[in-house]
Amino acid sequence: MKILLFASAYNSMTQRFHVELVDLGHEVSIELALDHERMRQAVDLFQPDVIVAPFLKTAIPEDIWKQHLCIIIHPGIKGDRGPSSIDWAILEDESEWGVTALQADAEMDAGDIWASINFPLEGETKSDLYRGKGAQAAITCIKQTLANFIDPKYQPEPLDYGNPDVKGTWRNPLKQSHRAISWESDTTAEIVRKIRSADSQPGLLDVLFGEQFYLYGAHPENTLTGKPGELIAQRYGAICRATIDGAVWITHLKRKKKEEQVFFKLPAAQVLREYIHALPEVPVSLELSPHELTFRDIWYEEKNQVGYLHFPFYNGAMSTEQCQRLRNAYLYARTKDTKVILLMGGEGFWSNGIHLNVVEASADPAAESWQNINAINDFVYEVLRTDTHLVISAMQGNAAAGGVMMALAVDRVYAREGIVLNPHYKRMGLYGSEYWTYSLPRRVGPEMAQKLTSVCMPMGTRAAKSIGLIDDYFGNTVSDFKTQVIKEAESLAQGEDFQDILWLKNKQRFLDEQYKPIAIYRQEELEQMKLDFTSNAYNTARHNFIYKISPSETPLHLAVHRQQVKDNVSCKLLSPA
């Protein structure tokens, strides 16, 4: 089937649809919804059987949806309408939400229903819900929709508010006034919910030290207290603000736009540096009980001879300081009387490599990039040289660039079914490091390694397993994935052949070192990266990424229909074998 995707951006949801639909054998092309005329051109050039909009902020022109089946993926339950669906669901503490596949119509979100999937809400942020349960439900919806499309007897369900199954309603755009915090009366739970309803976009607008900031990354705190509204502590870049019944940690801030000056998200303590010199730094134990409510971006736990190292960094970005702490935490895990170490990353993202926002904000971006890549390399080096444990990357969430390559430094790589991997650096103007020139070819072979890092396209878990990039994938949900990966790790730790597997691992590392020392791979990568960090390509790509500057046209590697016109060589997704 020929499927044209209309999208406002090639974001995680659009990438997930792209990967999944190609995996199913469909011919897929993408047109960014930059203007109506280009959307019309895309339809004329591609002649799709179905048009799907997984992430669209603008209306599809009437002449298109009247002549073609256009399916809108709406992040709401049946009957829900409006542009702030997930925001309202989190803010109003709904226990269940969903995704609905709607046929485009004259009225916003009022078209016939082709599929709808519900799921429980469990305190997620807006972005985590969107990338996790929301994305999984959306994929299920489109699969059902396409099956219905080829069924000649199928008739979509008209929107009928008289139907008891239709529980949604029209919801107006959620404004900042709807979720404004009252520090004198709101509870910790209410404040956390308000911030999470706007995270990661648009953020919750609030005032600190007489300035307006958008707040992100809320975590409840049940030990520290103070006068409601006052800052009482800081920790690893986050700030802690007292509430009427405890406190809340806020990890990131963004200054509100001033005239033509635009700002971007940064660790909260970095943004408020000039104001919080005297604010106490309150550390936290690496092995603090998970039942304690507080903020921590790295923690360790162990059970049944398996150690679990968690590092759910915000948006998967790893700053120099975070990489240094992660290395220290890993060295600690390696001293424990365990047999297997699981690198858990985070649920939303496993890792996306170096922290581009922190780099952009530094006085010398090239120097900060250099420190950052060396810090992440120091961590990867310790993983590679581990001879006392077997190490597993447990990829719960999406990963990109250095985050993917970091995951390959281990003995086994397991991924949650449906996550999206981007094993390349080139579109950021970088050669890459994290010892990828050692780890990637030994998994997929030199030819495939070259292809992955030059074609620069996303990859699903089925394709990743088929080429050996990962060892296996399982679990539609984070919970299911964790249950299965724990079983795999404990089985490995308790297996009679553990010592044999460990011996073979160390023997191979020894042989690899004799063939070419690991230090040489790093040296060669960093020689190229040092040049890249001062290049116009890197500085421009980083700037456009951070300030969310849209392209002036759909990139040809996405727009298959325009490749045909310009006789361009297609950059196709890698399909499972």
460, exposed or middle or buried, with CB in 10 Å at 0-12, 13-18, 19+?
A: buried
Overall fold of domain 2-149? Rossmann fold (3.40.50)
As a whole number, mean pLDDT of residues 372-389 equals 98
Contacts of 254 by beta carbon, 8 Å cutoff, 6+ apart: 203, 213, 214, 216, 263, 264, 265, 266, 271
What is the side-by-side strand order in the sheet with 113-120? 27-32, 2-7, 50-55, 70-74, 96-103, 113-120
Annotate 431-444 with DSSP letters as a single string: ---TTHHHHHHHHH
Listed by start position, the domains of the chain span 2-149, 176-271, 299-478+498-537
As a whole number, mean pLDDT of residues 146-156 equals 97
Annotate 491-524 with DSSP letters as a single string: HHHH-TTHHHHHHHHHHHHHHHHHHS-HHHHHHH
CA dist., res. 7 & res. 521, Å (int): 39
* Tens digits of residue pLDDT in 197-224: 999 999 999 999 999 999 999 999 999 9
Contacts of 566 by beta carbon, 8 Å cutoff, 6+ apart: 556
Phi-psi region of 548 (alpha: psi -120 to 50; beta: other; left: phi over 0): left
The CA–CA distances, whole Å, from 127 to 179, 192, 196, 197, 498 equal 17, 14, 8, 9, 39
CA dist., res. 310 & res. 350, Å (int): 9
Q: For the domain bounded by 299-478+498-537, which CATH number is listed?
A: 3.90.226.10
Contacts of 362 by beta carbon, 8 Å cutoff, 6+ apart: 368
Q: Would you state the pLDDT for residue 564?
A: 67
Q: What share of the chain has pLDDT > 70, as a percent?
A: 98
Single-letter amino acid, residue 316: G
* Tens digits of residue pLDDT in 411-464: 999 999 999 999 999 999 999 999 999 999 999 999 999 999 999 999 999 999
* Tens digits of residue pLDDT in 291-335: 899 999 999 999 999 999 999 999 999 999 999 999 999 999 999
Q: For the domain bounded by 176-271, which CATH number is listed?
A: 3.10.25.10
Total count of residues recorded for the chain: 577
Place 576 in a pLDDT band, splitting at 50, 70 and 90. confident
Asked if residue 200 has a cis previous peptide bond (ω within 30° of 0), the answer is: yes
* Tens digits of residue pLDDT in 17-48: 999 999 999 999 999 999 999 999 999 999 99
* Tens digits of residue pLDDT in 255-302: 999 988 999 999 999 999 999 999 999 999 999 987 899 999 999 999
Place 568 in a pLDDT band, splitting at 50, 70 and 90. very low
CA dist., res. 463 & res. 370, Å (int): 32
pTM of model > 0.95: yes
User: DSSP secondary-structure letter at 373?
Assistant: H
Place 498 in a pLDDT band, splitting at 50, 70 and 90. very high
Work out the angle between the directed axes of helices 536-546 and 365-384 (0-180°, nearest 10): 90
* Tens digits of residue pLDDT in 53-112: 999 999 999 999 999 999 999 999 999 999 999 999 999 999 999 999 999 999 999 999
**155 pLDDT more than 50:** yes
Q: Would you state the pLDDT for residue 98?
A: 98
CA dist., res. 45 & res. 50, Å (int): 14
3-class SS at 383? Answer: helix
Q: Do strands 211-221 and 204-208 pair parallel, antiparallel, or not at all (unpaired)?
A: antiparallel
**254 pLDDT more than 70:** yes
Asked if residue 202 has a cis previous peptide bond (ω within 30° of 0), the answer is: yes
**124 pLDDT more than 70:** yes
**569 pLDDT more than 50:** no
Single-letter amino acid, residue 390: L
Q: Would you state the pLDDT for residue 127?
A: 96
Place 193 in a pLDDT band, splitting at 50, 70 and 90. very high
Instruction: Give the chain's mean pLDDT.
Output: 96
